[in-house]
Chain A
Amino acid sequence: AQSVTQLGSHVSVSEGALVLLRCNYSSSVPPYLFWYVQYPNQGLQLLLKYTTGATLVKGINGFEAEFKKSETSFHLTKPSAHMSDAAEYFCAVVAAGNKLTFGGGTRVLVKP
């Protein structure tokens, strides 16, 4: 079985400040991990993914995430928030033999 927990359903950051979105997963086998972004009334867009290899992965729009097996975490960061980063972000996990499982989402508000 696998599951995903995103800490904080809402996060507020100031423009130019660090964005940190937390994701913890559980999986009985090595997982693939993903972050998606969703803008209002849009579908989900893949930001980045971890499959194998380097544990720090870079994605679009300046985001990156680090896979930490010992902490079962895959937190998403961006050094400097931009107004256009206001959206909802979803962490997801898939492991062999399982379907893609999403976390509950974190809505990001960027203050000027």
Chain B
Amino acid sequence: ETGVTQTPRHLVMGMTNKKSLKCEQHLGHNAMYWYKQSAKKPLELMFVYSLEERVENNSVPSRFSPECPNSSHLFLHLHTLQPEDSALYLCASSQVRGIINTEAFFGQGTRLTVV
């Protein structure tokens, strides 16, 4: 496989459930990202990991918990979500060289529906 792969592609969960989204990149990049894309809203950057260290957390509710065990894998753990959390969740990766960030490569996304 090449590129950025996200699983599952679709997820329906109840508000009391716990689930995880998975992202894997095969590009040798050193930075990974979670974005949230809701209808009629701009892309929202949620978390950034660079060299496996979380470098950005944009005021995301604690019911979203990221994990980056290595430079190729990124998870988003979900618990006690709300219906307004229903969205397309996109994972991306890029190569950061010093202060220069290259373009991001995106996965296909996970369409999350909270019922």
Contact = CB atoms under 8 A, between A and B. Distances in A.
Interface of A: 32, 34, 36, 41-46, 49, 90, 92, 94, 96-100, 102-105
B108 interface: yes
B53 interface: no
Contacts of A100: 94, 101, 103-104
Interface residues of B, number: 23
Nearest to B40: A9
B42 A41 contact: no
Given A43-B108, A43-B109, A44-B90, A90 B43 contact: yes
Contacts of A36: 106
A42 B99 CA distance: 29
B76 interface: no
A63 to B, nearest CB: 15
A49 B4 CA distance: 19
25 contacts: A32-B102, A32-B103, A34-B103, A41-B88, A41-B111, A42-B108, A42-B109, A43-B4, A43-B6, A43-B106, A43-B107, A43-B109, A44-B92, A44-B104, A45-B106, A46-B103, A49-B103, A97-B99, A100-B94, A100-B103, A100-B104, A102-B42, A102-B43, A105-B42, A105-B43
B74 to A, nearest CB: 14
Interface of B: 4, 6, 42-43, 45, 48, 56, 88, 90, 92, 94, 99-109, 111
Contacts of A94: 101-103
Nearest to B107: A43
Nearest to B105: A46
A45 to B, nearest CB: 7
B64 to A, nearest CB: 18
Q: Which 7 A-B pairs have the closest CB atoms?
A: A43-B106, A44-B106, A97-B99, A43-B108, A102-B43, A96-B99, A104-B42
A99 B92 CA distance: 12
A64 to B, nearest CB: 17
Nearest to B100: A96
